[in-house]
Amino acid sequence: MSVILEVVCPRLLGPAAMVAAAIIVKGYSDVGDGFSAGVVVALAVALRYVTLGAERAERSLPVLRHAPVLAVAGLLLVLAIGFFPVAFGEPPLTHFPRAGEPVVEIGALELTTAVALDVGIFLLVAGALVETIHQIARLVEERRA
């Protein structure tokens, strides 16, 4: 493994996370959505696995072990957003605020339940892909050992 790769690849995670955040925040007014953001994060993590190997990658980034929890949390968030309108007698996936009602804005981010759904998708996709990467990498290491 060349030195350049070893130095550059781990440092790409930060920018990748930034890009993912941007994709989500802009998602509703511009190109991108939770799925793309999740894949970007997973790709950055995958790059780490490829350059550092599974063990070092996981030791240097212990957060990764929460990936399954993240995926489940994402799924639950999506399902909750989808079905909580039912509790108010609305059809599933009714988004609030409704069409035409004012929206709270933080910079470019508009706070609507649809955005929360997108965040849920992001969590699920990122968590699920990282989990898959981990499993495959572990399998490869076991074969090698």
Partner 1 sequence: MLALAQDELKQILAHSTISQYGYVVTLYGIGGATAAGAATLYVLAHAIAKSALFMTAGAVTVATGESKLSRLGGLRRRMPALAVASGVAAATLAALPLTLGFSKDELFFAAATEHGRAVQLLAVGAAALTVAYIGRFWLGLFTGPLQTQPSAPVPPLLLAPIVVLGALAVVGGIVVEPFARLAEDAAAATYAGPLEVAPAYHAELGSENRMALAAWALGALILVVPRVRAPLVGAFARAGERAGPRRWYALSLLWLNRVSDWAHDREVRDLRNSIAAVLVPAAVLIAIALAVTPTRGSYEVGPVALGDLPIIVLLGLGALAAVTAARDRGRLQPVLALSVLGFALAGVYAMVGAPDVALVAVLVETVLAYVFVGVFARLPPATVRRPRRRARNAVIGAAAGASAFAAIWGALSRPTATTGVAAEHIERAPEAHGGDVVTVILADFRGLDTMVEVTVLAVAVVGVASLLSRGRAW
* Binding interface with partner 1 (CB under 8 A): 23, 27-33, 35-36, 39-40, 43, 46, 50, 65, 67-68, 71-72, 74-75, 78-79, 82, 92-93, 95, 97, 99-100, 103, 110, 112, 114-115, 117-118, 120-121, 124-125, 128, 131-132, 134-136, 138-140
Q: Which is nearer to partner 1, 6 or 30 (CB)?
A: 30
Query: To the nearest whole angstrom, how small is the minimum distance from the Cβ of residue 65 to partner 1?
Result: 5
For the CB of residue 68, give the shortest distance to partner 1 in the complex, in Å: 4
- The DSSP H or E segment spanning 106 is strand 104-106
Question: What is the gyration radius of the CA atoms in the chain, in angstroms?
Answer: 18
Say if CB 51 and CB 10 are below 8 A apart. Answer: yes
Task: Give residues with Cβ within 8 angstroms of 121, minimum separation 6.
Answer: 33, 34, 35, 38, 74, 78
